[in-house]
Structure 1
Amino acid sequence: MKSETAQFGKEETKDEQIYYFSKGIPGFEEHTEFIMMDLPDAPFAYLQSVKESQISLLITDPFIFFPNYEFDLSERVVEELNLGSSFLIRCIVTLKQDVSQSTINLLAPIVFNLENHTARQVILHSSEYQSRHLLWSGESESSPDNKAGE
C-alpha cells in the first residue's frame, strides 16, 4: 500500500509495518493506526499516522542511549497487548535546533507487540524518569538525574 508521509512523501508500506493503538497516543487519541518506518543506518524510526500525513513521531530504542533503563509493565498492559516474548520498546525523541539539547521521553515508553501488531504508550507511574531526558548527555546510564532543564 502507498502511504503519504511527512518526511518522505509517498512511500510503499507493508502491512507488517502498521501498528494499531486502541486508545491512540496521548495528544493524538483520534489516530489509532501508525506505520513504523525505520531510518536506514540510524538508530531511529518514524511513527507515521495512517490517517494524517503531517502526524509523525521520531522514536528510538531507549536501551541504545540508556543501557540501564528499566521498568515493570503492569499485568493490565501485558494482557491488553497480549504480550508474549516478541515485543519492542521505543521512546519518543524530540529533536531541538541545537541537536545536543534533544530529549527522549523515558517516562512514557511505547510497547509494540510484534506478533499481533498492537501497541500502546505506557505512562510509568511511581517512576523517577522524566519526559525530557537529554538524549546525548555523555552519560551511558538511565539515571533519573539525567534530564533536560526546564
Structure 2
Amino acid sequence: MELDTAQFGVVDVKEKQIFNFPKGIPGFEEYTQFAVIDLPDGPFSYLQSVQESQIALLITDPFIFFPDYEFELSDHAIEELELGTLLMIRCILTLNKEVSKSTINLLAPVVFNLETQRAKQVILHSTEYSSRHFLWSKEEPSLADKAGE
C-alpha cells in the first residue's frame, strides 16, 4: 500500500506495518489507523497516520534507553487489545532544538498486538514515570520543564 507522508513523501507500507487504534491516540482520537515506519540506522520509527499525512509521531523502544523500564498492564488493557505473547512496546518522543533535552513519554507507552494488528496508548497508574523523561540521561526534567506539562 502506498502511503502519503509529510516527512518522506509517498512510501510503500506492508499490511503488517498498519495498526488499528480503535479509540485513536489521545489528542488524535479521530485517527484510528497508523503505520509503523522504521527509520534506517537507528532505534527510531514514525507512527504515521494512514488517514492524515501531517500526523506522525516519533517513537522508540524504551528498553534501549531505559533497560529497567517495567510496568503492569491492567486487565482491561490486556482484554481490550486481546494480548497474547506477541506484542511490541514503543514510547512517543518529543524532540527539542537542543537534542540533549529531548524527552520520552514513559507514562503512556504504546502497546501493539502483533497478532491482531491492534494497538493502544496506555496511561499507566500508580507509577513514578512521567511524560517527560530526558532521553539521553536518566535525570528528571527540571521544574521549569515540567511547567509545560
What is the TM-score of this pair, normalised by structure 1? 0.93
1:36 alignment partner AA: V
Q: How does 1:64-83 map to 2 (within 5 A)?
A: 64-83=64-83
Superposition deviation, residue 148 in structure 1:
1.7
Superposition deviation, residue 147 in structure 1:
2.2
Structure 2 residue runs of 5 or longer lacking an equivalent are none
Structure 1 consecutive aligned stretches of length 4 or more whose deviation exceeds 3 Å = none
Whole-angstrom CA distance in 2 between matches of 1:95 and 1:55: 15
Q: Does 1:32 align with 2:32?
A: yes
Superposition deviation, residue 68 in structure 1:
0.3
Corresponding residue for 1:90?
A: 90
Q: Does 1:147 align with 2:127?
A: no
Whole-angstrom CA distance in 2 between matches of 1:86 and 1:40: 23
Structure 1 residue runs of 5 or longer lacking an equivalent are 140-145
Across the two proteins, how many residue pairs are aligned to each other? 143
Superposition deviation, residue 131 in structure 1:
0.2
What is the TM-score of this pair, normalised by structure 2? 0.94
Q: What's the Cα RMSD here?
A: 0.8
Whole-angstrom CA distance in 1 between matches of 2:112 and 2:82: 10
Whole-angstrom CA distance in 1 between matches of 2:25 and 2:96: 21
Deviations 1:99-150 (A, max 9, x none): 000000000000000001000000001111000000001x4xxxxxx32222
